[in-house]
Chain A
Amino acid sequence: MALSLGAHIILACFGMAMPAMIYVLHRKGINGDEAALELAKRWSKIAGVLFAIGAVSGTILSFEMGLLWPGLMEKYGDVLGTAFALEGISFFVEAIFLGIYVYGWDRLPPKKHILMLLPMVLAGIAGSFFVVSVNAWMNAPTGFTEVDGVVVDVDPLAAIFNSAVPLQFLHMFFAAYMVAGFTLASIYAVGWLRGRRGRLQELGILVPLAFAAFVTPLQPVVGHFAGQRIADDQPIKLAAIEGLAETESSVPTVLGGIYRDGELVGEITVPIEGLASFLAQNSFDAEIVGLDAVPEEDQPPVNIVRFSFQIMVGIGTALVGLVAVAAWRWRKRRDTFFDSAWMLRGIALSGVAAIVAMETGWITTEVGRQPWIVHGLMRTEEAITDGGWVWYSLIGLIFVYLLMGVAGLAVLRSMSRRWAAGEKDLESPYGPAALETSAA
């Protein structure tokens, strides 16, 4: 499940954020910028491939809900299901309009064609909201009452709009634009560094980077408030993030180190007294709940949560720095914007970095909730299937995803090579024309 989700979440980011970026390019294209129009065409094809894989990996996920978590679904399926139904509608809308948009090149009048992107943008936002809402519900379950272990009085709206959803959604929404923006920009930055320089590459770096630059500085702010919510609702998750064994007041922020037998070893303490307390509770001498507030079997694996969190924050900070440099150059050195090899190298790395940051963030929230699958109500071991074949299916899944990943990258590479070689329409190799050339 984690594997499928981890793969799907990357694809979902592109599905969410690419339509808006394509829209900007397409609009420039309609206003006469041919390179932008060509780039919009290419990206719509890439989005098509990514979306197709996203659609099937999403289906696997919905199978897994039942195959791996029958316990969760049998008990809470009707509480968290409404959000899934609404997500299904959003996804449907996106699939339909993607079909229309990709097929619509040269078939629809441009003014009408570009409008097909707008429902995709909206559906991407709505769909991710509802999916995140389910995850947020697992962190802050609400919208029902439980009598003797049986769920009664379900309030679907209350379940969807649970207390964790606003911040978690914003955090994910920004993350999607960061992942898609930095990744696309990084691909063209690598091309630039290798000498492929032109208007197309310029746009390929600038447009997605602009989107990412807009949300990157906001992300830590949202993350900060999301952290404060955790301090209130899921104090043990916060304790794991901080590596805090016992409840204390005026807690400092500590970086690095390994948590062993109730204490951190080899950590670095930031010399501001009570910084962690301040970040969590807005007061330098506030109390933070420690891991010992709950019995050991209710504590998450501290080191995984801590490391993941710190990697996420570290990368996030670095990306804010990168964006600051790029923004400064854009304002002051626009004529020579692309002359800084260091900045371009930074952009080239930013894609992978953003993906790592998102995945570690996701690990933080998921592993930090353990041993609960539904916070405080259902343990993961109660939800998981008792089928002995789980390990076989895991091995099978790893294999399939590896295969799909390799094949997907190979196809995307081949697309970009053929574009680089000047092909425009990418005829299928089994088409008659291609057959004749390959036979000749």
Chain B
Amino acid sequence: MSTADLVAAVMFAAITLYAVFAGADFGSGMWDLLAGDARKGAKTRRLIDHAIGPVWEANHVWLIFVLVFLWTGFPRPFGQIMRDLAIPFWLVGLGIVMRGAGFAFRKFTPDIRSARLAGIVFASSSVLTPFFLGTIAGAIASGRVGTGQVDTEVIWLSPTSLVGGALAVGTCAFLAAVFLTEEANRRGDVELAEELRLKAFITAALTGAVALIGIIPLRSDAPTLFDGLTARGAPEIALSVVAGLATLFFLRRRELRLARISAVFAVAAIVLGWGFGQYPWILVDTVTIEDGAGNSATLFALLVASLIAVIIITPALVMLYRLADTDRLGQ
């Protein structure tokens, strides 16, 4: 394994963490959107405020990490991605601003009308942002970036991109439903927990279906990725299926903490499967990780920085999640 491979691995680990943690935050926004009118949805919305309020900013930082790693470790592929996929990136940026501002403002709005407005902004951008991120992933994974195809087609609306977008939205909704069920249950609101548990079942079925059916168009639309997924990425895909089924099982038995863990595995495995599936390409079919990598001294510095990050950030993150989970720390 070369230094460039290591840097790419760290970057993919960050993508996975972003997909899982920020994914649950985005998904919560989607449930916020579907929670019903102000009276009916108040309980769900308060739960969501509690669940993601303390952690979403920290979860969001993973994305910044991914970007920094991409432009520092792989400056030329980064430039190419940004040139070819400028439009979805602008849309993602817009979605992130709207979501963050909408969420931060809603809590302190003066009256119900402006709360509703901020809430709608927050919730609808929670759907759009992961969708466009998924289409970006699809465009890269199907080998459309850096080939000049951008001149003849909208490369981020190809079949693979649409699968990516749908899958991103689905996994976010699924993660959030499982997380929120557990959260509601822990806060003793059994009624709400049961409601959310049902939603978790439905989204799990839908997302699983999208994932499995979605592989079919990949065969002709993204042959390199398809080959990778069925070879190097196969164990991860299998793991994802097993973990997904396990989540359903745990949900049924109301083993909610275990359901939460297996849901994380199910989603993380899909993202990792994508990574293994497109190895050794950084831009599928055009640039390999090795060829796209920046200067070796910088790659080494990035690895050192990651090590520092692990040492400093892990304990702090654990502390944050424990506080959000238990409402106290070491008392």
Contact = CB atoms under 8 A, between A and B. Distances in A.
Interface string A85-120: 111110111011111101110011100100000010
B305 A55 contact: no
A74 interface: yes
Interface string B32-54: 00000011011101100100011
Interface in B229-286: none
A109 B323 CA distance: 12
A108 B295 CA distance: 46
Q: Is the interface of A mostly helix, strand, loop or mixed?
A: helix
Considering residues B39, B103, B111, B305, which has the most beta carbons from chain A within 10 angstroms of its beta carbon?
A: B305
Contacts of B201: none
A259 interface: no
Name the interface size band of chain A.
Answer: 35 or more
A112 B330 contact: yes
Interface residues of B, number: 83
Given A108-B329, A411-B109, A66 B78 contact: yes
B312 to A, nearest CB: 6
A77 B97 contact: no
Interface stretch (B55-63, B137-145, B155-163, B206-214): B55-63
A3 interface: no
A62 B64 contact: yes
A37 B158 CA distance: 56
B328 A107 contact: yes
Contact of B93 (A63, A97, A415): A63
Interface string B291-312: 0001101110110010011001
Contacts, number: 262
Contact of B90 (A57, A393, A411): A393
A71 B83 CA distance: 10
A52 B100 contact: yes
Interface string A38-82: 000000010011011101111110110111001101111111011
Nearest to A144: B295
B115 A52 contact: no
A10 interface: no
Interface string A413-440: 0110110000000101111101100100
Given A81-B73, A104-B323, A410-B114, 5 more contacts: A74-B75, A81-B71, A85-B68, A95-B57, A154-B294
Interface of B: 38-39, 41-43, 45-46, 49, 53-55, 57-58, 60-61, 63-65, 67-69, 71-73, 75-76, 78-83, 86-87, 89-90, 92-94, 96-101, 103-112, 114-116, 118-119, 294-295, 297-299, 301-302, 305, 308-309, 312-313, 316-317, 319-320, 323-324, 327-331
Enumerate the 5 nearest inter-chain pairs by beta-carbon distance, A residue then B residue, closest first: A81-B72, A77-B75, A78-B294, A66-B82, A52-B104
22 contacts: A53-B101, A56-B96, A62-B64, A62-B67, A63-B93, A65-B71, A70-B80, A73-B75, A73-B82, A79-B295, A91-B61, A96-B319, A99-B57, A103-B53, A104-B329, A119-B316, A154-B298, A156-B297, A408-B105, A428-B46, A431-B42, A432-B43
